[in-house]
């Protein structure tokens, strides 16, 4: 019986990965973009191993604070965040990330420990849908 395909495997197949900002780079990462509004705690800027910091695509401070990484609020957070991504500078930033993904692999980086319940995971889904 074949092993169940993980979300990470699917992201790799699609050319868009979601990883922690603290993870060391891998060859398959391609362009590495931090998609959090806040700098990752404890990560020195000289040790940061990513190509861009795209703050404009991060959730608004109000949404981020409301969510508070409460897994029970994730579905509503994802819905609200997708709404934010469809407007203004966030929509422009999404278009920029789509361009990066069209040029090769793209890895979205987040500082959160719960990557599957992060803004980066939601954003990855938005980018995969096109």
pLDDT tens, residue by residue, 109-124: 999 999 999 999 999 9
What is the structure's pLDDT at 10? 42
Top-confidence residue, 8 or 54 = 54
| pLDDT score of 51 more than 90 | yes
pLDDT tens, residue by residue, 13-48: 469 999 999 999 999 999 999 999 999 999 998 888
CA atoms of 66 and 45, how far apart (whole Å): 28
What is the structure's pLDDT at 73? 97
* Cβ atoms of residues 108 and 35 within 8 Å: yes
pLDDT tens, residue by residue, 62-97: 999 999 999 999 999 999 999 999 999 999 999 999
Label residue 75 exposed, middle or buried (CB < 10 Å: 0-12, 13-18, 19+): exposed
pTM over 0.75: yes
What is the structure's pLDDT at 14? 65
CA atoms of 50 and 32, how far apart (whole Å): 5
How crowded is residue 43: how many other Cβ atoms within 10 Å of its Cβ?
15
* Cβ atoms of residues 31 and 51 within 8 Å: yes
| pLDDT score of 4 more than 80 | no
Angle between helix 88-103 and 119-129 (nearest 10) = 70
């Amino acid at each position: 019986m074949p092993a169940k395909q993980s979300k990470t495997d699917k992201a790799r197949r699609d050319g868009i990965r979601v990883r922690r900002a603290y993870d060391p780079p891998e060859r398959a990462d391609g362009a590495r973009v931090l998609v959090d509004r806040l700098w990752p705690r404890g990560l020195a800027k000289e040790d940061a191993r990513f190509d861009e910091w795209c703050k404009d695509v991060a959730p608004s401070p109000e949404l981020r604070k409301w969510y508070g990484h409460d897994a029970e609020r994730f579905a509503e957070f994802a819905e609200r965040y997708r709404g934010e991504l469809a407007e203004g500078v966030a929509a422009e930033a999404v278009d920029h990330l789509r361009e990066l993904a069209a040029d090769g692999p793209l890895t979205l980086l987040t500082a959160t420990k719960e990557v599957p319940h992060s803004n980066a995971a939601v954003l990855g889904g938005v980018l995969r849908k096109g």
